[in-house]
Amino acid sequence: MNGQEPLTALKGVGEKTARLFERLGVRTLEELWHYYPRAYDVFQEPRPICGLEPDTVAAVKARLKKTADVIRYGRMQVATLTLHEQEAGLSVVWYNMPYLRGILRAGEEFVFRGRVVKKRGRLTMEQPEIFRPQDYLEQIAVMRPVYGQTKGLGNKTIEKAVKQALSLRGMEKEYLPEPIRARLNLAEINFALEHIHFPRDEADLLFARRRLVFDEFFLFLLSIRFLKDQKEKTKSAYPIRLSPDITRLEQALPYELTGAQKRALSEVFADLSGGHVMNRLIQGDVGSGKTIVAVLALLQAASCGYQGALMVPTEVLARQHFEMIRRLTEEHGLGTRVILLTGSMTAKEKRLARAAIEAHEADLIVGTHALIQEAVRFDRLALVITDEQHRFGVGQRESLGKKGEAPHVLVMSATPIPRTLAIILYGDLDISVIDELPAGRRPVKNCVVGRGYRENAYRFIQKEVEAGRQAYVICPMVEAGEMLEAENVIDYAAALRKKFPPSIAVEFLHGRMKAKEKNAIMERFAAGEIQVLVSTTVIEVGINVPNATVMMIENAERYGLAQLHQLRGRVGRGADQSYCIMVNTGGEEAQKRLEILNRSNDGFFIASEDLRLRGPGDMFGVRQSGELEFGLADIFTDAAVLKTASEEVNALLAADPGLSREENAPLGRRLAQYLEKRYGRLAL
């Protein structure tokens, strides 16, 4: 099988299950091979009942003194056991499994494994797995994969499908040059793919993971070098001279640009007027003022009779930028025609917008990925700007760039990445850094607290809401999952609705919702119709709500510091004092790490500390950074591998620029496939 077969090619996966997998972004066997576990579950020795703690997964071994009872509550049948050990007791419960009465009989010995919770003052284990002692003994220390799940599709079903898919996979020919593999002690590719899902132990996992992470970085950096070689010193068909009108507009702004903004603007204007195509990244902290730099550049392009396009990741942000640019041009009498194009517009609205763009009845076009649809045709597109660029990936940026005749390209990112890594990751771009915040911006007040502070936090959120403000609550999971101890948005939102009075509207938001649903929720929150938004990190970018003053982050220890800083940047955007409450459910080491955010609001310092503090243990939890387009690699945890991959790419291309040597031919073919899949072009 070549991997392009649908999941229905697997036994036991019908149309209904395939649709559930589609919600996870998995449609083909190849996508399932690369649907990596998000964590690993390791069976521990059974614990004494007196040593059990609430909100943990544990195993207990017991010889039953009596057969399980089955009690009927309406349509539900509940099987129960009570286990005793000296003074300690544990209630064990299963729902709608009455057949257990014939299995769990007095005198038999079992191991029960599941989540321990406290209910009505008693320790309870609900729906635990049941093992014979010898069977459980064989499972101890085995690493079981834990996948991202969705309602109706549990971990066992995904694990079974992955096993079957891997068994149908043909052996892939090794494409990495043997000298590189030998020098770096990298696993063979087939071994790596098999053992990232089903490692024998932690050493096995790390060996497999390092190879796959290296591959992601290596192929990405090779493709970046290929793109850069094509772009280097391309003559520009759109020299943009500086307009006095835009200079006057800059001077008339109600605030003075910071020194860093002026420096970035100067670098952008020098590129635009320099005769060659600009390929530049503006990297700036949250709230540093990248957008006004982009807008001034777009207005310069429009003043020369060209078109400019701004692509952003969400429709809400597109509308906010559109309104801001239109208001700015009207207030200053520039006569610039601005138009909006998003996916949720009606067919007629989109048709009229596309016609206006093609006829050059619009100078500046603001939109989402709808801008790169085939039906959109520009007239003299001179400048394309991508905001929050890591949300799109290189392929989509390239697609927008191909809409014109080699237009100038400017991409922006608020994700703070240490400069050493940025130079590697954005090797096809020149970099401008905005490292100052505008004057008068009030820093967010931070606190790192334990579980016991939650009730105080809820009271504080209610007080802020009653004062007319809004709040975010961030959870790492969409819904409750097997074996992962973390808060989820669906249950959390339901709990907050019960806790807060009916006058406080609580809604949830997550990445698995349809685009239309997400946009509706974000628009209602931006309009003040929702007071508390419980969300995953999907709100990390793409919404600007100055009225939001509280950011509460549950299971904060599961995120990287740079990502926490990015989340914190959703508040502190208005005139009111803002607050960030980070709930640490980890240990003392996590507390020390989170305290760095207490001491600093400087994103670049935090990113550097994040890089310094990361260790191999971080890879066993939630993936820390969503930067760029990597499925497994994390630029912070895997910074050393990133640097190694960069050095190997440089050495390889120095020795064989076209990958034309016989020993490099398999890699050349693999790179061509990679570029075709990612960017719609062949490499070699």
User: Whole-angstrom Cα distance, residue 313 to residue 57?
Assistant: 38
592 CB-contact burial (10 Å; exposed 0-12 / middle 13-18 / buried 19+): exposed
Q: Is the pLDDT of residue 159 over 50?
A: yes
pLDDT at 314 over 50: yes
Number of neighbouring beta carbons within 10 Å of residue 127: 12
Residue 199 host element (H or E):
none
Helix (H) / strand (E) containing 130: strand 129-131
pLDDT digits (tens, 9 = 90+) for 370-418: 888 888 999 999 999 988 655 455 555 566 666 778 899 998 887 777 7
Average pLDDT of 436-456?
87
What are the DSSP calls for 579-613, one per residue?
EEEEE--S-HHHHHHHHHHHH---HHHHHHHHHHH
Strands 122-126 and 109-119: antiparallel
CATH 3.40.50.300 in the chain is located at 244-434, 445-600+602-627
Which two tokens mark 326?
């239109």
- Predicted local distance difference test score (pLDDT) of residue 535: 93
Confidence category of residue 537, pLDDT binned at 50, 70, 90: confident
445-600+602-627, what's its fold? Answer: Rossmann fold (3.40.50)
CA atoms within 13 A on the CB side of 231: 21
Give the residue carrying structure tokens 């990232």.
196
**Percent with pLDDT over 70 in the chain:** 92
Is residue 378 within 8 Å of residue 290, measured between CB atoms?
Answer: no
CATH, range 55-130: 2.40.50.140
- Work out the number of other CB atoms within 10 angstroms of the CB of residue 545: 23
Over residues 222-256, the pLDDT tens digits come to 988 877 776 666 788 898 988 898 989 999 998 89
Spatial contact of 391 and 313, defined as CB atoms under 8 Å apart: yes
The pairing of strands 56-63 and 39-42 is: unpaired
pLDDT of residue 626: 43
Give tens-digit pLDDT for 597-638. 888 888 878 878 877 776 544 444 434 444 456 888 888 788
* Residue 534 backbone class (left: φ over 0; alpha: ψ -120 to 50; beta: rest): beta
- Tens-digit pLDDT profile for residues 98-137: 999 999 999 999 999 998 988 888 899 999 999 999 999 9
Long-range contacts of 489-494 (CB under 8 A, 24+ apart): 489/534, 489/535, 489/536, 492/534, 492/554, 493/534
Which pLDDT belongs to residue 231? 65
Please identify, in words, the CATH class of the domain defined by 244-434.
alpha beta
**Are the C-beta atoms of 645 and 456 separated by less than 8 Å?**
no
pLDDT in tens, 633-666: 888 788 899 999 999 999 999 999 889 999 999 9
Per-residue model confidence as pLDDT tens digits over 263-295? 999 999 999 998 888 989 998 887 788 999 999
Are 320 and 472 in contact by the 8 Å Cβ rule? The answer is no
> CA-CA distance, 165 to 149, in Å (whole number)?
18
How far is residue 22's CA from residue 553's CA, in Å, rounded to a whole number?
28
Per-residue pLDDT, 343: 87
Fold category of 1-43+141-169 in CATH: DNA polymerase; domain 1 (1.10.150)
- For residue 215, give Cα distances in angstroms to 24, 101, 223: 23, 51, 12
Residues 89-105 have a mean pLDDT of 93
pLDDT for residue 315 = 86
Measured between alpha carbons, how far is 680 from 348 in angstroms, rounded to an integer? Answer: 29
- Structural contact between residues 256 and 406, judged by C-beta atoms closer than 8 angstroms: no
Summarize the chain as % helix, strand, coil (round to 5).
Answer: 45, 20, 35
Phi then psi for residue 10, to 5 deg, are -85, 140
Residue 182, H or E segment:
helix 178-184
Domain with CATH 2.40.50.140 in the chain: 55-130
The band of 481, judged by pLDDT with boundaries at 50, 70 and 90, is: low
CA distances from 505 to 263, 516, 571, 576 (A): 44, 20, 19, 21
pLDDT value for 624:
40
pLDDT grade, residue 683 (50/70/90)? very low
So what's the pLDDT on residue 622? Answer: 38
∠ CA 118-122-127, nearest 5°, is 60
Element (H, E) at 178: helix 178-184
CA distances from 670 to 398, 675, 683 (A): 20, 9, 9
Chain-centroid distance, C-alpha 433: 23
pLDDT band at residue 149 using 50, 70 and 90 as cut-offs: confident
pLDDT for 616:
43
| Residue range(s) of every CATH 1.10.150 domain in the chain | 1-43+141-169
487: which 2 tokens? 């808060």
400: closest CA among 364, 356, 361, 369?
A: 369
Classify burial at 230, counting beta carbons within 10 Å of its beta carbon; exposed 0-12, middle 13-18, buried 19 or more. Answer: exposed
* Distant-in-sequence, close-in-space partners of 612: CB < 8 Å, separation ≥ 6: none
Predicted confidence (pLDDT) at residue 684 exceeds the cutoff of 50: no
The rounded distance, in Å, linking the Cα atoms of 610 and 564 is 10
Identify whether the C-beta of residue 541 lies closer than 8 Å to the C-beta of residue 314. yes
Measured CA distances, 621 to 53, 145, 146, 441 (Å): 21, 12, 10, 34
pLDDT in the model for residue 230: 67
User: What average pLDDT score do residues 583-588 get?
Assistant: 85
Token pair belonging to 360: 């050059």
